[in-house]
Structure 1
Amino acid sequence: MDILILSIVILLYFLIIGYVGYVAWRGTKTSEDYMVAGRKTHPYIMALSYGATFISTAAIVGFGGIAGQFGMGILWLVFLNIIVGIFIAFVLFGKRTRKMGHNMGSLTFPEFLGRRFNCKFIQYFAGLIIFFAMPLYASVVLIGAARFIETTIKIDFNLALLIMAIIVAAYVVLGGIKGVMYTDALQGSIMFLGMLFLLVTTYYLLGGVNTANQSLTNLAPLVPAQVSAVGGTGWTSFPVLGSPWWWTLVSTIILGVGIGVLAQPQLAVRFMTVKSNRELNRAVLVGGLFIFIMTGTAYIVGSLSNVYFFQQTGQIAVQVVEGNIDRIIPIFINQAMPEWFTYIFMLTLLSAAMSTLSSQFHVQGTSIGRDVYETILSKTGDRSILITRIGILFSVIIALVLGYLLPGSIIALGTSLFFGICAAAFLSVFVCGLFWKRTTRAGAIAGMLAGTITSLFWLFFIYKKTAASLGISQALTGQDILLTNMPWPVVDPIVVAVPLAFVVTIVVSLLSKPPEPKYLDKCFEGV
């Protein structure tokens, strides 16, 4: 790439982003402005902010790479992303979250849960989970952007990580959620156009939709022997039912993200930034179309990269990147796309990374400032915002360190694991809190603890990908994993932890004293 042209493009991009962040900073006067944008966000901005936060470099680079390995079967995740992540989230969850959040004066997701059950423990426990677990997700998003910068500009990966972290931290610390959402909307527009061009151009290069898809089908005999041995059948067919390859694709990749999206704190708080249900209804179409193009393009292009690489080099994608699937999309873009598009796609990935990272860092900061500091010490005011900003800086540092330490091919796995942890900890409490008035404080606490503990136990002692790498099980028991019989080593924690959390929440609620009707009336007024 021409460094002069690249520098001009990126400079213009950051000037625009900086101006948008400045406008948001000028409009941020109160804690409500900083936390939920004054509850007056336009539906277009809210939908694009939600979508841009949901779709990061983890989706484009990480899950695009997964598609290069697993094939078109991952398109089932697009279906869940739209039906669950947009329609159910906006229409069923969003409306109740918005109204109840307003009734209770909630400014963060943990505060929403805490006030719904009138329990400070729930609020600061949820805040601590977010603060300590989200750096895993933030770090893989950073890695996704840095991998593309490394491949494209040929600069050191570690330097690319540092640059991305500093840029995002600057406008999140100053602008709060307004700075995050305004820049998200701009970045989401860039992402949409960039990915739409990528989809069309990829099919054009490979001879059209039918020819490209048939060529991918014809590559089935090239599936690596080690993949065939665990159930892989090709890039346009689903893995063998019940095989390790099937369990990884379905339980970790598809269910982990497809269901876990409902319990994402950085997404749920978006519902509390609009003033009425009408804005949420209007946001469904924009959000649905955005998610369809973004995820569909990443997964299709990732799969079809095998055709391109085979035609050019005689090797499939995984062989070209020497096993590190996080490099499939960056190398494909740099080799297959015209040079001018590489500059545009650089902005697309920068936008994807910055939009998600900004929301992640903002949520981590508010979790430590609002949900832990204020809740435990019962202090409010300007000092809380200061603690929030300090929390954001610590979050950036933790994510940066993890970005240096984590291994290759980690982006999609890290994303799925974080989504699964959030689902295990929050989904049962969130769902029951919204739709079942009989849920009690004891039931909510029990469900949250059961889901969190089960999820972590499964990650440390049962799920082979994480348990063997972490070494905790080996150190304590002398075994890499405690359950060796199939399919348990390849069953994602979300499959076990989420149902158990729901059962515990419901059973304990039925066995404990019902909540006070007067308090429930306040929470559910107008819902």
Structure 2
Amino acid sequence: MNLGILTAIFAAYLGILIFFAYTGFKQTQNADDYLVAGRNVHPWVMALSYGAAFISTSAIIGFGGVAGMYGFSLLWLAFLNIILGVWIAFAFLGTKIRKMSAQLEVATFPSLLGSRYQSRFITVFAGLMIFVFMPAYTSIILIGGARFLQEAFVMNFNTALLILAVIVTVYVLTGGLKAVMYTDAFCASVMFLGMMALLIGTYNAVGGVVAGHRGLTALNDLVPESLTAMGHQGWTAMPQLGSPLWWTIVSTIIMGVGIGVLAQPQLAMRFMTVRENKSLYRAVMVGSVFIFFLVGTVYMVGPLSNLYFYNTQGIIAADVAQGNIDLIIPAFISSFMPEWFLYLFTLTLISAAISTLSALIHVQGTAFGRDILETMGVQMGKKGKSARLPQLGVMTGVVLAVTLAYILPGSIIARATAFWFGICAAGFLPTLVGALYWQRGTRLGAIASMVSGFSVSIFGFVFLHIAESEPFGIAMALFGRHALLPYPWTHVDPLLYALPVSAAMYIGVSLLTAPPAKEHLKRCF
């Protein structure tokens, strides 16, 4: 790309972001505006913001590369993203979250749970889990965006990292969730155009839909022996049932991320921003189409890159990327797409990074300022009315994310995403669903569920699931081996046993303890 043209396009792009951020700033008059955008956001803006916060560079680059390595089996994740992440999330969880948060007059995910169960501990614990573990996910988004800026503008990585962090921090600090959602909606539009062009261009490059899929199926003999030994049966087939690769794809990638989306705090807060349930129903179609073209595209483009590279260079995508799967999508795009698309894709990736970063940093800020500090009695301004503590949390969250961005190793994008989504599902999902749909759920049941869900999940990642336990090294240091149990537990994602434990604890303890007061339940429901 021409650096001068790219710089001019990026400057115009930043100008548009500044306009939307300033609009959000001008409309932010109180804490409710800062935290939940005044609860009057247009349903299309909400749907686009939800999708942009959901889809990041980890989905486009990280999971696109995973699809290039493992094949079309990742399309099951796209299916779950639409069915669970949009249809179920909007119609069954979103409507209840919107109504209950308004009735209880709460503006954050932890405070919703804490108010429903009348527990300060739940509010602080949920806020603490978000503030402690979310920076790891935030940092990988920051790394992905900064690496792309580094390559596109030929700049130092540290400079790119700070530029991205400063851009997001400024408008999250000043404009709150209104500025975040307005800029998200713009970023989502850019991402949608970029991925549509990529999908059409890819199928055109491999001879069309039918020819492309037939050609890719014919390359089964080129699957590396190491992957075949793990259960890989070709890019157009599911891995062998029960094989290590099957467990990785099904339990970690498909179920871990597919189910985990239902308990993402940064996404749940979007439901609090609309005025009525009708707005959520209107947003379902927009959200579904957006998610299909964003994640569906990369999960199709990734595998098809193998056919394109074989036809043009005689090797598969992993060989072109020299084993680094995070390079598959960038290498594929730069090899055949016209120059104008490279500029569009640059903006697509920057948009994906900025939109997700702003959502995560906003949630970290509110968790630290409102849910932890304010709940524990710390005040800056009038309690419940000031945005100063959340703003302090934003600054603290940015510092943590930038620090981790220098510490975390490479090739961690998809793994860190699955880790965050998985622990959220185990720690939050039973308590959240029970809060919205089961009036018999009790405070002690919710506490037992959340503590056990997070504890079992983290234990699994540290001592059982070898993809994380080996690099952590704690199991080796304490017990002299990378994992405490043999296969298949080394490849079974902790979500599959942590979530049932969490749900059982919630139901069992709730049934053994006194139900909530009827007056409180009447207020909630």
Shared topology, TM-score over 0.5?
yes
- 8 Å CA contact 1:238–1:246 kept in 2: the answer is yes
Structure-2 residue corresponding to 1:402: 404
Shift of 1:330: 1.5
Structure 2: distance between partners of 1:296 and 1:15: 30
Deviations 1:345-381 (A, max 9, x none): 1111111111110000000000000000110116463
Deviations 1:463-516 (A, max 9, x none): 101111011111222221111x22100011111111110000000000111111
- 8 Å CA contact 2:248–2:493 kept in 1: the answer is yes
Structure-2 residue corresponding to 1:338: 338
Q: Secondary structure at the match of 1:229?
A: helix
Structure 2: distance between partners of 1:152 and 1:183: 22
Shift of 1:176: 0.4
Q: 1:441 aligns with which of 427, 439, 443?
A: 443
Structure 2: distance between partners of 1:400 and 1:309: 36
- 8 Å CA contact 2:30–2:387 kept in 1: the answer is no
Structure 1: distance between partners of 2:132 and 2:261: 18
> More displaced, 122-131 or 147-156?
147-156
Structure 2 unaligned regions, length at least 5: none
Q: Could you say if the C-alpha distance between residues 155 and 233 of structure 1 is closer, same or farther in structure 2, counting changes exceeding 3 Å?
A: farther
Structure-1 residue corresponding to 2:470: 468
Q: Secondary structure at the match of 1:489?
A: coil
Shift of 1:206: 1.3
- 8 Å CA contact 1:203–1:209 kept in 2: the answer is yes
Q: Secondary structure at the match of 2:490?
A: helix
- 8 Å CA contact 1:144–1:326 kept in 2: the answer is no
Percent of residue pairs bearing the same amino acid type: 52
Structure 2: distance between partners of 1:314 and 1:407: 31
Equivalent residues in 2 for 1:289-308 (5 A)? Answer: 289-308=289-308
Structure-1 residue corresponding to 2:122: 122
Structure 1: distance between partners of 2:153 and 2:317: 21
Equivalent residues in 2 for 1:185-224 (5 A)? Answer: 185-224=185-224
> More displaced, 325-334 or 59-68?
325-334
- 8 Å CA contact 1:147–1:326 kept in 2: the answer is no
- 8 Å CA contact 1:464–1:480 kept in 2: the answer is yes
Equivalent residues in 2 for 1:350-361 (5 A)? Answer: 350-361=350-361
Structure 1: distance between partners of 2:347 and 2:354: 10
1:85 pairs with 2:85 = yes
Structure-1 residue corresponding to 2:420: 418
Structure 2: distance between partners of 1:157 and 1:248: 32
Deviations 1:96-140 (A, max 9, x none): 110011010010000000000000000010001001111111112
Structure 1: distance between partners of 2:209 and 2:159: 39
Structure-2 residue corresponding to 1:388: 390
Amino acid of the residue matched to residue 467 of structure 1? S
CA RMSD, 1 decimal? 1.3
Q: 1:482 aligns with which of 476, 481, 484?
A: 484
Aligned residues: 523
Shift of 1:332: 1.5
Q: Secondary structure at the match of 1:409?
A: coil
Q: 1:458 aligns with which of 455, 460, 470?
A: 460
Shift of 1:403: 2.1
- 8 Å CA contact 1:463–1:491 kept in 2: the answer is yes
- 8 Å CA contact 2:21–2:179 kept in 1: the answer is yes
Deviations 1:277-301 (A, max 9, x none): 1100100010011001111111111
1:507 pairs with 2:508 = yes
Structure-2 residue corresponding to 1:172: 172
Structure 1: distance between partners of 2:522 and 2:441: 14
Shift of 1:304: 1.0
Equivalent residues in 2 for 1:303-322 (5 A)? Answer: 303-322=303-322
- 8 Å CA contact 1:151–1:331 kept in 2: the answer is no
Shift of 1:143: 2.4
Structure-1 residue corresponding to 2:139: 139
Amino acid of the residue matched to residue 13 of structure 2? Y
- 8 Å CA contact 1:324–1:408 kept in 2: the answer is no
Structure-1 residue corresponding to 2:248: 248
> More displaced, 329-338 or 30-39?
329-338
Structure 1: distance between partners of 2:471 and 2:183: 37
Structure-2 residue corresponding to 1:5: 5
Q: Secondary structure at the match of 2:376?
A: helix
Q: TM-score, structure 1 length as denominator?
A: 0.97
Structure-2 residue corresponding to 1:47: 47
- 8 Å CA contact 2:381–2:388 kept in 1: the answer is no
